[in-house]
Amino acid sequence: MKTFHSLFLSFVLLSLVSSVRSELLIEITKGIDDPIPIAVVPFSWESRGAATEDFARVIESDLLRSGQFAPLSRLDMLSFPSTKEEVFFRDWRVLRAQYLLIGSALLQQNSLQIDYELLDVSKGKSIYSGSVFGKLSEQRVLSHRIADVIYRNLTGIPGAFATRLLYIAAERDSIGNDSFSLTLADSDGERPIVLLKSSEPIMSPSWAPSGDEVAYVSFESGRPAIYRQNLISGKRERLTNFSGLNSSPAWSPDGNYMAMVLSKDGNPDLYLMKLADRSLTRLTRHYAIDTEPAWMPDGKSLLFTSDRGGRPQIYRYEFKSGSTERVTFQGTYNARARVAADGRNIVLVHRKDRKYHIAVFDIVSNRLQIMTETNLDESPSIAPNGSMVLYSTKYRGRGILAAVSVDGGFKFRLPAREGDVREPAWSPYM
Protein backbone atom coordinates (compact mmCIF):
# COMPACT_ATOMS: atom_id res chain seq x y z
CA MET A 1 0.00 0.00 0.00
CA LYS A 2 1.30 3.44 -0.84
CA THR A 3 2.09 5.69 2.08
CA PHE A 4 0.05 8.85 2.47
CA HIS A 5 2.84 11.06 1.13
CA SER A 6 3.37 8.85 -1.93
CA LEU A 7 -0.29 9.19 -2.93
CA PHE A 8 0.87 12.27 -4.87
CA LEU A 9 3.61 10.42 -6.71
CA SER A 10 1.93 7.11 -7.51
CA PHE A 11 1.63 7.82 -11.23
CA VAL A 12 0.70 10.13 -22.75
CA LEU A 13 0.42 10.46 -25.64
CA LEU A 14 -0.99 8.99 -28.74
CA SER A 15 -2.84 11.51 -30.86
CA LEU A 16 -4.98 8.72 -32.29
CA VAL A 17 -7.56 6.94 -30.14
CA SER A 18 -7.25 3.17 -30.54
CA SER A 19 -9.61 0.32 -29.71
CA VAL A 20 -8.31 -2.88 -28.15
CA ARG A 21 -9.80 -6.23 -27.19
CA SER A 22 -11.54 -6.59 -23.86
CA GLU A 23 -8.90 -6.23 -21.15
CA LEU A 24 -10.99 -7.07 -18.10
CA LEU A 25 -12.45 -10.41 -17.08
CA ILE A 26 -15.33 -10.75 -14.61
CA GLU A 27 -15.04 -13.30 -11.80
CA ILE A 28 -17.87 -13.37 -9.27
CA THR A 29 -16.48 -14.25 -5.84
CA LYS A 30 -19.47 -13.80 -3.53
CA GLY A 31 -23.23 -13.86 -4.17
CA ILE A 32 -26.24 -12.90 -2.12
CA ASP A 33 -28.43 -15.54 -0.47
CA ASP A 34 -31.73 -14.89 -2.23
CA PRO A 35 -31.31 -13.40 -5.73
CA ILE A 36 -34.36 -12.85 -7.93
CA PRO A 37 -34.87 -15.74 -10.43
CA ILE A 38 -35.25 -14.37 -13.96
CA ALA A 39 -35.20 -15.94 -17.42
CA VAL A 40 -33.71 -13.80 -20.20
CA VAL A 41 -34.72 -15.52 -23.43
CA PRO A 42 -32.51 -15.09 -26.53
CA PHE A 43 -34.00 -12.27 -28.60
CA SER A 44 -35.27 -13.10 -32.07
CA TRP A 45 -33.51 -11.48 -35.04
CA GLU A 46 -35.95 -10.12 -37.64
CA SER A 47 -33.43 -9.35 -40.37
CA ARG A 48 -31.22 -11.06 -42.93
CA GLY A 49 -28.16 -12.92 -41.77
CA ALA A 50 -27.28 -13.46 -38.12
CA ALA A 51 -27.09 -10.94 -35.32
CA THR A 52 -23.55 -9.84 -34.49
CA GLU A 53 -24.40 -9.36 -30.80
CA ASP A 54 -26.28 -11.55 -28.33
CA PHE A 55 -28.52 -8.89 -26.77
CA ALA A 56 -30.05 -11.21 -24.19
CA ARG A 57 -26.62 -12.42 -23.08
CA VAL A 58 -25.44 -8.85 -22.44
CA ILE A 59 -28.60 -8.13 -20.42
CA GLU A 60 -28.30 -11.39 -18.51
CA SER A 61 -24.67 -10.68 -17.65
CA ASP A 62 -25.56 -7.19 -16.43
CA LEU A 63 -28.29 -8.47 -14.14
CA LEU A 64 -26.04 -11.23 -12.80
CA ARG A 65 -23.23 -8.75 -12.14
CA SER A 66 -25.55 -6.57 -10.06
CA GLY A 67 -25.82 -9.38 -7.50
CA GLN A 68 -29.60 -9.00 -7.33
CA PHE A 69 -30.58 -11.61 -9.93
CA ALA A 70 -30.07 -15.30 -10.70
CA PRO A 71 -30.59 -15.75 -14.47
CA LEU A 72 -31.88 -19.11 -15.66
CA SER A 73 -29.49 -21.13 -17.84
CA ARG A 74 -30.49 -21.34 -21.49
CA LEU A 75 -29.88 -25.06 -21.37
CA ASP A 76 -32.84 -25.38 -19.01
CA MET A 77 -35.26 -23.33 -21.10
CA LEU A 78 -38.09 -25.31 -22.69
CA SER A 79 -38.82 -22.74 -25.40
CA PHE A 80 -37.58 -19.43 -26.81
CA PRO A 81 -40.59 -17.12 -27.16
CA SER A 82 -40.18 -13.60 -28.52
CA THR A 83 -43.78 -12.40 -27.99
CA LYS A 84 -46.19 -12.74 -25.09
CA GLU A 85 -48.52 -14.86 -27.26
CA GLU A 86 -45.79 -17.48 -27.55
CA VAL A 87 -45.26 -17.74 -23.79
CA PHE A 88 -46.55 -20.77 -21.88
CA PHE A 89 -46.34 -19.51 -18.31
CA ARG A 90 -46.71 -22.99 -16.80
CA ASP A 91 -43.37 -24.00 -18.34
CA TRP A 92 -41.60 -21.08 -16.69
CA ARG A 93 -43.33 -21.74 -13.36
CA VAL A 94 -41.98 -25.27 -13.46
CA LEU A 95 -38.51 -23.80 -13.94
CA ARG A 96 -39.18 -21.48 -10.96
CA ALA A 97 -38.51 -18.34 -12.93
CA GLN A 98 -40.12 -15.38 -11.19
CA TYR A 99 -39.74 -13.04 -14.16
CA LEU A 100 -39.33 -13.50 -17.90
CA LEU A 101 -37.73 -11.12 -20.40
CA ILE A 102 -38.42 -11.61 -24.10
CA GLY A 103 -37.59 -9.50 -27.12
CA SER A 104 -36.86 -9.12 -30.80
CA ALA A 105 -34.46 -7.02 -32.86
CA LEU A 106 -35.00 -5.51 -36.30
CA LEU A 107 -32.28 -4.01 -38.49
CA GLN A 108 -33.26 -1.74 -41.37
CA GLN A 109 -30.24 -0.37 -43.23
CA ASN A 110 -28.07 0.75 -40.28
CA SER A 111 -30.96 1.53 -37.92
CA LEU A 112 -31.53 -0.99 -35.12
CA GLN A 113 -34.75 -1.36 -33.15
CA ILE A 114 -35.00 -3.69 -30.16
CA ASP A 115 -38.45 -4.39 -28.68
CA TYR A 116 -38.67 -6.10 -25.30
CA GLU A 117 -41.21 -7.10 -22.66
CA LEU A 118 -40.86 -8.01 -19.00
CA LEU A 119 -43.38 -10.55 -17.70
CA ASP A 120 -44.40 -11.66 -14.20
CA VAL A 121 -44.48 -15.45 -14.40
CA SER A 122 -46.58 -16.14 -11.30
CA LYS A 123 -49.25 -13.62 -12.31
CA GLY A 124 -49.03 -14.40 -16.01
CA LYS A 125 -49.03 -10.77 -17.06
CA SER A 126 -46.82 -8.08 -18.53
CA ILE A 127 -45.04 -5.63 -16.21
CA TYR A 128 -43.32 -3.42 -18.75
CA SER A 129 -42.70 -3.23 -22.48
CA GLY A 130 -40.53 -0.86 -24.43
CA SER A 131 -38.24 -0.26 -27.38
CA VAL A 132 -34.77 1.17 -27.87
CA PHE A 133 -33.34 2.58 -31.08
CA GLY A 134 -29.83 3.21 -32.34
CA LYS A 135 -27.15 2.38 -34.84
CA LEU A 136 -25.88 -1.16 -35.38
CA SER A 137 -22.60 -0.15 -33.72
CA GLU A 138 -24.55 0.65 -30.53
CA GLN A 139 -25.83 -2.89 -29.95
CA ARG A 140 -24.17 -3.31 -26.57
CA VAL A 141 -25.16 0.17 -25.40
CA LEU A 142 -28.80 -0.53 -26.27
CA SER A 143 -28.62 -3.85 -24.42
CA HIS A 144 -27.21 -2.11 -21.34
CA ARG A 145 -30.06 0.40 -21.49
CA ILE A 146 -32.61 -2.41 -21.50
CA ALA A 147 -30.86 -3.95 -18.48
CA ASP A 148 -31.09 -0.57 -16.74
CA VAL A 149 -34.86 -0.50 -17.30
CA ILE A 150 -35.33 -4.06 -16.04
CA TYR A 151 -33.22 -3.36 -12.96
CA ARG A 152 -35.20 -0.20 -12.18
CA ASN A 153 -38.57 -1.92 -12.59
CA LEU A 154 -37.69 -4.85 -10.33
CA THR A 155 -35.61 -3.09 -7.65
CA GLY A 156 -36.88 0.49 -7.70
CA ILE A 157 -33.30 1.71 -8.19
CA PRO A 158 -32.02 3.21 -11.46
CA GLY A 159 -29.62 0.90 -13.26
CA ALA A 160 -26.04 1.87 -14.06
CA PHE A 161 -25.14 -0.66 -16.74
CA ALA A 162 -25.05 1.92 -19.56
CA THR A 163 -22.36 3.91 -17.75
CA ARG A 164 -18.63 3.66 -18.47
CA LEU A 165 -15.35 3.18 -16.63
CA LEU A 166 -11.97 4.88 -16.73
CA TYR A 167 -8.91 3.10 -15.41
CA ILE A 168 -5.14 3.03 -15.72
CA ALA A 169 -3.52 -0.04 -17.27
CA ALA A 170 0.19 -0.64 -16.74
CA GLU A 171 2.42 -3.18 -18.47
CA ARG A 172 6.12 -4.02 -18.54
CA ASP A 173 7.66 -5.58 -21.64
CA SER A 174 10.28 -8.31 -21.81
CA ILE A 175 13.19 -5.88 -21.51
CA GLY A 176 11.74 -3.97 -18.56
CA ASN A 177 10.16 -0.97 -20.29
CA ASP A 178 6.97 0.30 -18.65
CA SER A 179 3.92 1.65 -20.46
CA PHE A 180 0.82 3.31 -19.03
CA SER A 181 -2.58 3.63 -20.68
CA LEU A 182 -5.68 5.60 -19.79
CA THR A 183 -8.51 3.31 -20.87
CA LEU A 184 -12.23 3.88 -21.34
CA ALA A 185 -14.60 0.88 -21.27
CA ASP A 186 -18.21 -0.11 -20.76
CA SER A 187 -19.29 -0.90 -17.20
CA ASP A 188 -18.67 -4.61 -17.89
CA GLY A 189 -15.14 -3.98 -19.20
CA GLU A 190 -16.11 -4.51 -22.84
CA ARG A 191 -15.36 -2.16 -25.76
CA PRO A 192 -12.16 -0.74 -24.23
CA ILE A 193 -10.63 2.30 -25.89
CA VAL A 194 -7.11 3.53 -25.12
CA LEU A 195 -7.36 7.30 -24.78
CA LEU A 196 -3.72 7.93 -23.89
CA LYS A 197 -0.60 5.79 -23.84
CA SER A 198 2.88 6.69 -22.64
CA SER A 199 6.06 5.44 -21.05
CA GLU A 200 5.45 8.08 -18.36
CA PRO A 201 2.92 7.56 -15.55
CA ILE A 202 -0.74 8.64 -15.70
CA MET A 203 -2.90 9.01 -12.59
CA SER A 204 -6.08 10.43 -11.02
CA PRO A 205 -8.65 10.00 -13.82
CA SER A 206 -11.80 12.01 -13.17
CA TRP A 207 -15.12 12.53 -14.98
CA ALA A 208 -16.89 15.75 -15.86
CA PRO A 209 -20.53 15.65 -14.69
CA SER A 210 -21.70 15.74 -18.32
CA GLY A 211 -19.83 12.51 -19.04
CA ASP A 212 -18.25 13.89 -22.23
CA GLU A 213 -14.95 15.07 -20.71
CA VAL A 214 -12.31 13.62 -18.42
CA ALA A 215 -9.39 15.03 -16.45
CA TYR A 216 -6.21 13.29 -15.34
CA VAL A 217 -2.60 13.81 -14.33
CA SER A 218 0.18 13.01 -16.80
CA PHE A 219 3.95 13.04 -16.26
CA GLU A 220 4.73 13.32 -19.97
CA SER A 221 6.51 16.66 -19.50
CA GLY A 222 8.77 15.22 -16.82
CA ARG A 223 6.62 16.39 -13.92
CA PRO A 224 2.92 16.03 -13.03
CA ALA A 225 0.48 18.25 -14.94
CA ILE A 226 -3.33 18.27 -15.03
CA TYR A 227 -5.05 17.79 -18.39
CA ARG A 228 -8.65 17.77 -19.57
CA GLN A 229 -9.81 15.90 -22.66
CA ASN A 230 -13.04 15.90 -24.64
CA LEU A 231 -14.16 12.34 -25.40
CA ILE A 232 -16.14 13.33 -28.47
CA SER A 233 -13.65 15.55 -30.30
CA GLY A 234 -10.49 14.18 -28.68
CA LYS A 235 -9.35 17.74 -28.01
CA ARG A 236 -6.85 17.89 -25.16
CA GLU A 237 -5.89 20.84 -22.97
CA ARG A 238 -3.24 21.25 -20.28
CA LEU A 239 -4.71 23.10 -17.30
CA THR A 240 -1.72 23.28 -14.95
CA ASN A 241 2.01 22.79 -15.11
CA PHE A 242 3.24 24.49 -11.94
CA SER A 243 6.41 23.45 -10.17
CA GLY A 244 5.78 20.82 -7.53
CA LEU A 245 2.55 18.86 -7.30
CA ASN A 246 -0.34 19.17 -9.74
CA SER A 247 -2.74 16.49 -8.59
CA SER A 248 -6.23 15.13 -7.88
CA PRO A 249 -8.47 17.01 -10.35
CA ALA A 250 -12.16 16.91 -9.37
CA TRP A 251 -14.94 18.55 -11.39
CA SER A 252 -17.67 20.52 -9.61
CA PRO A 253 -21.24 19.18 -9.96
CA ASP A 254 -22.11 22.02 -12.36
CA GLY A 255 -18.97 21.44 -14.45
CA ASN A 256 -17.78 25.05 -14.15
CA TYR A 257 -14.98 24.54 -11.62
CA MET A 258 -12.29 22.03 -10.84
CA ALA A 259 -10.83 21.38 -7.42
CA MET A 260 -7.19 20.25 -7.41
CA VAL A 261 -4.08 19.92 -5.28
CA LEU A 262 -1.12 22.22 -5.93
CA SER A 263 2.11 22.79 -4.01
CA LYS A 264 3.30 25.79 -6.02
CA ASP A 265 3.07 28.03 -2.94
CA GLY A 266 4.65 25.60 -0.47
CA ASN A 267 2.81 22.67 1.07
CA PRO A 268 0.16 20.74 -0.90
CA ASP A 269 -3.14 22.61 -0.53
CA LEU A 270 -6.56 22.63 -2.17
CA TYR A 271 -7.20 25.10 -4.99
CA LEU A 272 -10.26 25.90 -7.06
CA MET A 273 -9.94 26.65 -10.78
CA LYS A 274 -12.68 28.46 -12.70
CA LEU A 275 -12.50 26.61 -16.00
CA ALA A 276 -13.79 29.50 -18.11
CA ASP A 277 -10.70 31.60 -17.49
CA ARG A 278 -8.41 29.27 -15.46
CA SER A 279 -8.37 31.66 -12.53
CA LEU A 280 -7.27 30.03 -9.26
CA THR A 281 -8.52 30.42 -5.70
CA ARG A 282 -6.58 28.90 -2.83
CA LEU A 283 -8.92 27.12 -0.42
CA THR A 284 -6.69 25.72 2.34
CA ARG A 285 -3.55 27.08 3.98
CA HIS A 286 -1.99 24.54 6.30
CA TYR A 287 1.46 23.14 6.98
CA ALA A 288 0.03 19.61 6.66
CA ILE A 289 -0.79 17.80 3.41
CA ASP A 290 -4.31 18.46 2.06
CA THR A 291 -5.24 16.27 -0.88
CA GLU A 292 -7.87 14.14 -2.69
CA PRO A 293 -10.78 16.60 -2.97
CA ALA A 294 -14.27 15.18 -3.57
CA TRP A 295 -17.34 17.35 -4.12
CA MET A 296 -20.53 16.98 -2.16
CA PRO A 297 -23.47 16.65 -4.62
CA ASP A 298 -24.90 20.08 -3.78
CA GLY A 299 -21.58 21.77 -4.66
CA LYS A 300 -21.51 23.68 -1.37
CA SER A 301 -18.60 21.81 0.21
CA LEU A 302 -15.64 19.54 -0.46
CA LEU A 303 -14.36 16.49 1.36
CA PHE A 304 -10.61 16.00 1.37
CA THR A 305 -7.86 13.99 3.02
CA SER A 306 -5.46 15.71 5.45
CA ASP A 307 -2.92 14.66 8.06
CA ARG A 308 -3.30 17.96 9.91
CA GLY A 309 -4.44 16.00 13.00
CA GLY A 310 -1.35 13.79 12.91
CA ARG A 311 -2.91 10.98 10.86
CA PRO A 312 -4.74 10.95 7.52
CA GLN A 313 -8.45 11.64 8.06
CA ILE A 314 -11.35 13.03 6.06
CA TYR A 315 -12.18 16.74 6.47
CA ARG A 316 -14.87 18.96 5.03
CA TYR A 317 -14.36 22.44 3.55
CA GLU A 318 -17.41 24.75 3.38
CA PHE A 319 -17.29 27.28 0.53
CA LYS A 320 -19.62 29.85 2.09
CA SER A 321 -17.82 30.16 5.41
CA GLY A 322 -14.36 28.95 4.40
CA SER A 323 -14.38 26.76 7.50
CA THR A 324 -12.91 23.26 7.80
CA GLU A 325 -14.11 20.48 10.08
CA ARG A 326 -12.99 16.91 10.65
CA VAL A 327 -15.44 14.24 9.47
CA THR A 328 -13.93 10.83 10.34
CA PHE A 329 -12.68 9.73 13.76
CA GLN A 330 -12.76 5.92 13.65
CA GLY A 331 -9.31 4.42 13.23
CA THR A 332 -5.93 5.97 12.49
CA TYR A 333 -6.26 6.15 8.69
CA ASN A 334 -9.17 7.24 6.50
CA ALA A 335 -8.47 8.58 3.00
CA ARG A 336 -9.65 8.94 -0.61
CA ALA A 337 -13.31 9.75 0.09
CA ARG A 338 -15.83 9.50 -2.74
CA VAL A 339 -19.45 10.58 -2.23
CA ALA A 340 -22.60 8.78 -3.38
CA ALA A 341 -25.26 10.75 -5.23
CA ASP A 342 -27.42 10.81 -2.09
CA GLY A 343 -24.75 12.88 -0.32
CA ARG A 344 -24.95 10.59 2.70
CA ASN A 345 -22.84 7.53 1.97
CA ILE A 346 -19.10 8.03 1.52
CA VAL A 347 -16.74 5.31 0.34
CA LEU A 348 -13.15 5.56 1.51
CA VAL A 349 -9.95 3.68 2.31
CA HIS A 350 -9.84 2.64 5.97
CA ARG A 351 -6.91 1.01 7.76
CA LYS A 352 -7.53 -1.66 10.37
CA ASP A 353 -4.88 -3.96 11.88
CA ARG A 354 -2.34 -2.57 9.38
CA LYS A 355 -4.55 -3.63 6.47
CA TYR A 356 -6.20 -1.25 4.02
CA HIS A 357 -9.85 -1.91 3.25
CA ILE A 358 -12.71 -0.21 1.43
CA ALA A 359 -15.36 1.06 3.82
CA VAL A 360 -18.67 2.91 3.64
CA PHE A 361 -19.15 5.81 6.05
CA ASP A 362 -22.61 7.21 6.77
CA ILE A 363 -22.04 10.93 7.24
CA VAL A 364 -25.34 11.33 9.15
CA SER A 365 -25.12 8.44 11.62
CA ASN A 366 -21.28 8.35 11.67
CA ARG A 367 -21.45 4.58 11.14
CA LEU A 368 -18.48 3.03 9.33
CA GLN A 369 -18.79 -0.41 7.71
CA ILE A 370 -15.78 -2.27 6.30
CA MET A 371 -16.77 -4.00 3.05
CA THR A 372 -13.62 -5.78 1.86
CA GLU A 373 -11.35 -8.43 3.35
CA THR A 374 -8.27 -8.04 1.15
CA ASN A 375 -5.20 -6.22 2.45
CA LEU A 376 -4.23 -3.56 -0.08
CA ASP A 377 -7.44 -1.93 -1.29
CA GLU A 378 -7.43 1.63 -2.63
CA SER A 379 -8.96 4.14 -5.07
CA PRO A 380 -12.68 3.49 -4.50
CA SER A 381 -15.24 4.82 -6.99
CA ILE A 382 -18.98 4.51 -6.49
CA ALA A 383 -21.58 3.79 -9.17
CA PRO A 384 -23.92 6.70 -9.99
CA ASN A 385 -26.86 4.76 -8.54
CA GLY A 386 -24.93 4.15 -5.31
CA SER A 387 -25.27 0.35 -5.50
CA MET A 388 -21.69 -0.80 -6.18
CA VAL A 389 -18.16 0.32 -5.36
CA LEU A 390 -15.26 -0.30 -7.73
CA TYR A 391 -11.72 -0.21 -6.34
CA SER A 392 -8.11 -1.29 -6.89
CA THR A 393 -6.54 -4.19 -5.05
CA LYS A 394 -3.88 -6.90 -5.35
CA TYR A 395 -4.61 -10.47 -6.44
CA ARG A 396 -1.94 -13.09 -7.03
CA GLY A 397 0.71 -10.40 -7.12
CA ARG A 398 -1.02 -8.24 -9.73
CA GLY A 399 -2.99 -5.04 -9.58
CA ILE A 400 -6.64 -5.68 -10.43
CA LEU A 401 -10.01 -3.99 -10.15
CA ALA A 402 -12.68 -5.42 -7.87
CA ALA A 403 -16.24 -4.47 -6.95
CA VAL A 404 -18.45 -4.85 -3.91
CA SER A 405 -22.08 -3.96 -3.29
CA VAL A 406 -22.61 -1.18 -0.75
CA ASP A 407 -23.98 -3.69 1.76
CA GLY A 408 -20.93 -5.93 1.26
CA GLY A 409 -23.10 -8.88 0.18
CA PHE A 410 -21.94 -9.26 -3.43
CA LYS A 411 -18.41 -9.15 -4.81
CA PHE A 412 -16.60 -9.72 -8.07
CA ARG A 413 -13.11 -9.24 -9.51
CA LEU A 414 -12.09 -7.72 -12.85
CA PRO A 415 -8.50 -8.85 -13.46
CA ALA A 416 -6.80 -7.75 -16.66
CA ARG A 417 -5.75 -10.27 -19.29
CA GLU A 418 -2.27 -8.75 -19.17
CA GLY A 419 -0.46 -6.34 -16.85
CA ASP A 420 -1.97 -4.41 -13.95
CA VAL A 421 -5.05 -2.18 -13.75
CA ARG A 422 -5.64 0.51 -11.13
CA GLU A 423 -7.41 3.78 -10.25
CA PRO A 424 -10.93 3.14 -11.55
CA ALA A 425 -13.34 6.03 -12.04
CA TRP A 426 -17.04 5.27 -12.60
CA SER A 427 -18.79 7.66 -14.97
CA PRO A 428 -21.93 9.66 -14.22
CA TYR A 429 -25.06 8.73 -16.15
CA MET A 430 -24.27 9.20 -19.82
CATH class of 34-155: alpha beta
**pLDDT tier for residue 12 given thresholds of 50, 70 and 90:** very low
Q: What is the maximal distance between C-alpha atoms in the chain?
A: 73
Q: Which of 292, 293, 255 is nearest to 274 (CA)?
A: 255
**pLDDT tier for residue 22 given thresholds of 50, 70 and 90:** low
**Tens digits of residue pLDDT in 158-200:** 999 999 999 999 998 888 899 999 999 999 999 999 999 999 9
**Tens digits of residue pLDDT in 79-138:** 999 999 999 999 999 999 999 999 999 998 889 999 999 999 999 999 999 999 999 999
Give residue limits of the domains in the chain. Answer: 5-24+161-426, 34-155
CATH class of 5-24+161-426: mainly beta
**pLDDT tier for residue 25 given thresholds of 50, 70 and 90:** confident
Separation of alpha carbons 20 and 195, rounded Å: 11
Assess contact for 177 and 199: CB atoms under 8 A: yes
**Tens digits of residue pLDDT in 37-71:** 999 999 999 888 778 899 999 999 999 999 999 99
* pLDDT at site 69: 96
**pLDDT tier for residue 389 given thresholds of 50, 70 and 90:** very high
* pLDDT at site 20: 41
Q: Rounded mean pLDDT of the chain?
A: 92
